[in-house]
Structure 1
Amino acid sequence: MKKILLAFFTATIIISCNENKTTTNTISTNTVNKTDSIAIKQFFSTALTDGKAYEWLRDLTQNIGGRLSGSPEAQMAVEWGEKLMKEEGFDKVWLQPVMVPHWVRGEKEVANYSINGTKINVPICALGGSIATPKNGVMAEVIEVKSLDEVEKLGEKVRGKIIFYNRPFDNTLINTFAAYGGCVDQRYGGTEVAGKYGAVGTIVRSMTNNLDDYPHTGSMGYGKAKPEDYIPTAAISTNASELLSKHLKENPNLKFYFKQSCETLPDAPSFNVIGEIAGSEFPNKYITVGGHLDSWDLAEGAHDDGTGVVQSMEVLSLLKRNGIKPKHTIRAVLFMNEENGLRGGKKYAEEAKLKNEIHVAALESDSGGHTPRGFSYNGTKENQELFMGWKSLLEPYGLTDWHTGYAGADINPLKNETVTLSGYKPDSQRYFDYHHAATDTFDKVNLRELELGSAAMASLVYLMDKYLDVEPVKK
């Protein structure tokens, strides 16, 4: 009986797709019809009863683990993605070469300080891109600050000191990504500012709204600093930050010690992994859906961004298994090097431009695998009303948050005058508990939430394929 119902749904969808062809750039939301509701319902039913993403994620995280660009694990992940796409029977699967940064952590970092003769060990991890400390580590007095501007005002007073950036998340912000955005400049740019005034190192409060004992890594940059002004930088856990701040008030001259042996090696060869289903009407026009294959090395890279990787591949799988023959070519792209360079996203856009590819739309999943909440929109004003009109179709599945805004780091280089970019937005409340930390493991991902996300993404890709189109960009 199930097979008969599936055949009926499939036939209905295919017939409707043929009856509702369009090549215009804007379409009234009135053209969204009952057939779309049936198709979307079937995506969710398939994902929730016969989804594949969760087991794919188990394999990626448990058998490969952390996948920092340039590492053997990253290469294993490339081979894993290529093999899986071929097994799924995508029309075309290939690897797109890209050179990526190769930073290695080295031995486990150490940090401590003493209070009245008692040594306090501090959970710490080097930030990606940092240099190592001297072989015997760094020990110096600490200056606590809340902003880069404070360091600028202190100027030469920071010479010979360790700068401690301790601005926490604003927990009054419901959107935790906004809270992250309000703090992350400390991690990325704090070392450049402190180094130019002669500081000997920086430590940064971990980028999380949670109070725990896990240091969260992430990228840092030296910006325009001269190599002689490069200083080592690391993150310490939020609990350690609270305690250090307390102890500094009581003992302003305490000395902090940390040691790390990280290193930047020459760029390494790697790949974006790409699979596609050919379009039935416009095979040379593309809709891309993707996540990033690389992850930090402290954990398994489950929410960041294993979930986005498997959901992107499952979008194509759901289209195929439900008999949808897309008008445009639909691509799943597993981008390499989002975490510390964006080389994969930039390479994909560069190659698309060289080949004069016409990209109609792109969807990115890089906000974790929690419960679906909605999508962001970044595109033309003409298509905005159309995009927002799809909300009514997906509201019954909990996708109520539809807004204009940033779509994603890896698809942003595709931005031009006509392309529609969208970011998949799951619930954000728990994401930064795990982001860039040792806690980002497979067991933190809920099967049902993950598969709901796959179905939501497949539904949006289906609608973009059916109703969006663009003319070539005039040069």
Structure 2
Amino acid sequence: MRSFWLCLILVFSGFVATAQTNKIDDSLNIRKIYDMSLLNGKSYSWLDHLSNEIGGRLSGSYGAEQAVEYTKAELEKLGLDKVWLQPVMVPKWTRGEREFAYIQTGPGATRNINITALGGSVATPEGGTKAEIIEVQGIEHLKEYGRENIEGKIVFYNRPMRADHIQTFEAYGGCVDQRYSGAKEAAKYGAVGVIVRSMNLRMDDFPHTGSMSYGDLPVNQRIPAAAVSTNDAEYLSSLLKIQNDLEVYFRLNCEQHEDVQSYNVIGEITGSEFPEEIMVVGGHLDSWDLGDGSHDDGAGVVQSMEVLRLFKETGYTPKRTIRVVLFMNEENGLRGGNKYAEVAASKGEDHIFALESDAGGFTPRGFGITATDAQYSKILSWKELFKPYLIHYFERGGGGADISPLEGGNTVLAGLRPDSQRYFDYHHAANDTFDKVNKRELELGAATMASLMYLVDKYGMENISNETTEMPD
């Protein structure tokens, strides 16, 4: 019996020693990753080219085509085991000539307002649309007014993003339905057009575009849809309080074309021990056409590319296969994410982990994670390793639109969570430009992503073992 307890003590001591050694090794390796990103990073220069030399990258555009060619060439320079293009058919929508709108404030008196067509909208008639405008606070309020008060009018959706939500994506989710489905629902009541308050927490003159859908509404019943800046939304609303028969004119010149072929861009380091276990890191290569898409999602693209470069530069050899996937068509169709998951399923590939960056290039705070209890606990056991880098946010629920089709089975989904307070100042607007991205914040985000990928690769996601560091309190 005494021998048994002695053996047990020795085994336990061995486990503790191994865990402590692993913790030290992990801390040193993560330090190397951060040092390499901050002192010799490539993400910022990649973003400079993507934003300033190529610019907006709406699906089906020449900019998107250039972005595919550029990122493929840059991945090939990294000496990865494999780089390839995955064909995907994507929608093509063009904005046409710049939109124009004004409020008729009196006989012969007008004031111009800042608008932009919503992605997927039909054009107005050639001469534009002019009608009385009615303000509502959301789709659910349409029935309160009824067809008798809406028919022949322009519906003005004016529900703002709620400023009391600390998590700004919750504020966005609370009102984005009026942008996405507002035109479809207003058309059922006979409206001739819709104008939607921009999804923006700041008061400014930038209208924010974004995708919208008519659902199964017949083409001849579809009405034009535009977003208006927050300053002009406030001005319009204040005028309606004293003049309820106010008229607004707006002109859109957009057009929907036939689908065209584009590509997901994929690069891979083949795993040295478990090549059949695949880990993905990615962002979406397409962007809206108003700015150059630096935050949404140029930042996520270059951070994801940087993860694989950091592994190569620091000399780390992954046990598992690690892929960077630059998805096409997240903004107005999610065709790239769906195609990647479809091909993966057809090949019977085993994806154990997927990490996405699609929340801007701001200071990283942590991760949102979709996983089983055991998997989530395992990731939490690494939290202490991120403390020196001020990464503290590890929460259930997360991932991203492009990796969401991979959900199911044992696949863990994670999303980088940067500080989100300024994200919607730029989201889908003309001011989403390179000068709004801070080099250091971008590089910290890339290092944070690479560190989590390193830990998942080293320890895997299937089994909880004593190899991992201790759980934090």
TM-score normalised by the chain length of structure 2 = 0.92
Matching residue of 1:153: 144
Question: SS at the partner of 2:425?
Answer: helix
User: Taking structure 1 as reference, are residues 31 and 191 closer, same or farther at Cα in structure 2, changes over 3 Å only?
Assistant: farther
Other-structure match for 1:123:
114
Q: In the alignment, which residue of structure 2 is the partner of 1:378?
A: 370
Secondary structure in 1 matching 2:241: helix
Partner Cα separation in structure 1 for residue 137 and residue 264 of structure 2: 38
Find the counterpart in structure 2 of residue 69 from structure 1: 59
Residue among 437, 440, 445 paired with 1:453:
445
1:138 matches 2:121 = no
Of residues 402, 406, 416 in structure 2, which corresponds to 1:414? 406
Counterpart in 2 of 1:188?
Answer: 180
Cα separation, partners in 2 of 1:255 and 1:364, compared to 1, 3 Å: same
Q: How does 1:226-237 map to 2 (within 5 A)?
A: 226-237=218-229
Deviation at 1:30, TM superposition (A): 7.4
SS of 2:119's partner is coil
Matches for 1:304-343 after TM superposition, within 5 Å = 304-343=296-335
Secondary structure of 1:213's counterpart equals: coil
CA 219–31 in structure 1, closer or farther in 2 if over 3 Å, else same: farther
Cα distance in 2, alignment partners of residues 293 and 173 from structure 1: 29
Out of 22, 29, 32, the residue aligned to residue 42 of structure 1 is 32
Q: Which residue of 2 aligns with 1:19?
A: none
Q: Secondary structure at the match of 2:272?
A: coil
Contact 1:29 1:389 in 2 (8 A): no
Question: By how many angstroms is 1:276 displaced?
Answer: 0.8
Q: How does 1:269-418 map to 2 (within 5 A)?
A: 269-418=261-410
Partner amino acid for 1:120? R
Query: Is this contact kept in 1: 2:375–2:461, CA < 8 A?
Result: no
Shift of 1:283: 1.2
Query: Which residue of the partner structure matches residue 167 of structure 2?
Result: 175
Which stretch of the first structure deviates more once superposed, 167-176 or 363-372? 167-176
Instruction: Determine the structure 1 residue equivalent to 2:15.
Output: none
**CA distance in 2: counterparts of 1:76 and 1:258, whole angstroms:** 33
User: By how many angstroms is 1:137 displaced?
Assistant: 0.5
- Report the secondary structure of 1:353's partner residue: helix
- Could you give the per-residue CA deviations for residues 402-422 of structure 1, whole angstroms, max 9, x where no partner exists? 101131000000011200110
SS of the residue aligned with 1:251?
coil
Cα distance, 1:29 vs structure 2: 8.2
* Larger radius of gyration between Structure 1 and Structure 2: 2
Counterparts of 1:419 and 1:207, CA distance in 2 = 32
Q: Which amino acid aligns with 2:114?
A: P
What is the match of residue 10 of structure 2? none
Q: Is 2:110 aligned against 1:113?
A: no
Counterpart among 203, 228, 236 of residue 244 in structure 1: 236
Stretches of 4+ aligned residues off by more than 6 angstroms: 28-31
| Alignment partners' CA distance in 1, 2:391 and 2:137 | 37
TM-score (norm 1): 0.92
Q: Which residue number corresponds to residue 81 of structure 1?
A: 71
Per-residue CA deviations over 1:414-467 (Å, capped at 9, x if unaligned) read 011200110000000110000000000000000000000010000000011111
Cα pair distance change 1:348/1:144, threshold 3 Å: same
C-alpha RMSD of the superposition: 1.3
Match of 1:22 in 2: none
- Secondary structure at the aligned position of 1:139 is classed as strand
Query: What's the CA shift string for 1:116-167, capped at 9, x where partnerless?
Result: 3431101000000000000000000011000111112222121001000001
1:127–1:218 Cα contact (<8 Å) kept: yes
Number of residue pairs matched by the alignment: 444
How far 1:330 moved relative to its partner? 0.5
Query: CA deviation digits over 1:21-73, x for unaligned, max 9?
Result: xxxxxxx9878511110011111111110011000000000000000000011
Is residue 122–residue 255 contact of structure 2 (8 Å, CA) maintained in 1?
A: yes
CA distance in 2 between counterparts of 1:32 and 1:207 reads: 46
Question: What secondary structure does 1:135 align onto?
Answer: coil
Counterpart Cα distance in 2 of 1:41 and 1:264: 49
Aligned position for 1:95: 85
The Cα offsets for residues 96-123 of structure 1, whole Å up to 9 and x where unpaired, read as 0000000000010000012234311010
User: In the TM superposition, what are the counterparts of 1:429-448 in structure 2 within 5 Å?
Assistant: 429-448=421-440
Whole-angstrom CA distance in 1 between matches of 2:136 and 2:356 = 35
Q: What residue in structure 1 maps to residue 156 of structure 2?
A: 164
One-letter code aligned to 1:40:
I
**Partner secondary structure for residue 58 of structure 1:** helix
Q: Secondary structure at the match of 1:33?
A: helix
Distance 1:244 1:30 in 2: 63
Residue 216 (structure 1) aligns with: 208
Segments of 5+ residues of structure 2 without an aligned counterpart are: 1-17, 464-473
